[in-house]
Every structure is written in C-alpha cells, then in structure tokens.
C-alpha cells in the first residue's frame, strides 16, 4: 500500500507541474502580443513605458489603458498605500507630487 500512495503522489505532482509550464515560446507570438492590446485584459508592460514622463489626466489614463490592453488602471501618488497582490490585468501609474508619471508598470 505505501508504494501505491507514493506512486500516486509522484504522478499527481508531475501532472501539476506539467500544467504550470508554458508551451508557446515562439518569438512571433510574443511580438504580436506586444503590438496589439490583449483580448483577455492582460497588461503589456512594454507599451506602458511610453507614458513615463507625461502629465496625468483622465484622457492619459484612458489612452494608457487602451494602448496597454489593461483591464483596469491604478494611479499611485506619493505616500499612497497599495496592496502587493499581482494582477496581470492592471496598469500601475506611479506619479510624483506634480502629477507626472514617474513609473508605468503592469501588475
């Protein structure tokens, strides 16, 4: 009986690890994903960099969200508290006291 449970454990672990792996590593799919907004709302961090140094506004937030394909946007001002959870659909815009975007990132 112990051999059977050990084999079951090894098999289930292998299946779980296999489910976590990525099978598509082709550069063509990565470049096409970077050039167009994601249909599933995932944020494109490379596209987000274009908004660094710009003055924050409602129009900029909408444009950044459209350009990056993000499902939602969080604006972080100096001293703001934030959660540390990762959300692949979220665009983070860190601004300074003057309202200029200092950092644009996804998560």
Instruction: Walk me through the domains of the chain, giving residue ranges and CATH numbers.
Output: 42-107 (3.30.10.10)
pLDDT at 106 over 60: yes
- pLDDT at residue number 30: 35
- pLDDT at residue number 1: 54
Least confident of 21-35, 36-50, 59-73, 81-95: 21-35
| pTM for this predicted structure | 0.62
3 state SS for the chain = CHHHHHHHHHHHHHHHHHHHCCCCCCHHHHHHHHHCCCCCCCCCHHHHHHHCCCECCHHHHHHHHHHHCCCEEEEECCCCCCCCCCCCCEEEEEECCCCEEEEEEEC
pLDDT single digits (tens) 47-81: 999 999 999 999 999 999 999 999 999 999 999 99
pLDDT at 103 over 80: yes
């Amino acid at each position: 009986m112990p051999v059977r449970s050990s084999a079951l454990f090894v098999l289930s672990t292998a299946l779980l690890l296999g489910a976590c792996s990525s099978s598509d590593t082709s550069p063509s799919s990565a470049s096409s994903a970077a050039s167009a907004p994601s249909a599933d709302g995932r944020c494109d961090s490379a596209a987000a960099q274009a908004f660094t140094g710009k003055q924050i506004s409602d129009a900029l937030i909408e444009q950044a969200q459209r350009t990056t394909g993000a499902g939602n946007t969080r604006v972080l001002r100096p001293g703001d508290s934030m959660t540390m959870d990762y959300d692949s659909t979220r665009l983070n815009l860190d601004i300074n006291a003057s309202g200029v975007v200092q950092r644009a990132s996804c998560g």
